[in-house]
Amino acid sequence: MSEKKRFLLRIDPRVYAAIEKWAADDLRSVNAQMEYVLSEALKRAGRYPRPRPAEEASEGRASDDGAPPDGDA
């Protein structure tokens, strides 16, 4: 698996608190919850990036839904 991109994010404290509570309810870290929410929004908008054929073959999966593997749920 490739290393994940790191970046700083400025966010309203109320939004952060809501995400933090939601993450706790779902037994996720805040980071994993933000990644989940962003991934779901991208899928709904039809903008979720599909894996390249080489990446899909190396993972040994034939998924066509474009969803990331559940590693943090």
What's the pLDDT score for residue 52? Answer: 79
Structure confidence at residue 50 (pLDDT): 86
DSSP of 15-44, one letter per residue? HHHHHHHHHHHTT--HHHHHHHHHHHHHHH
Question: Would you state the pLDDT for residue 66?
Answer: 54
Give residue limits of the domains in the chain: 13-59
Overall pTM surpassing 0.85 (yes/no)? no
Q: Tens digits of per-residue pLDDT, 13-29?
A: 999 999 999 999 999 99
58 contact partners, CB below 8 Å, separation of at least 6: none
End-to-end CA distance of the chain: 17
Tens-place pLDDT, residues 42-73: 999 999 988 878 766 766 655 555 555 555 54
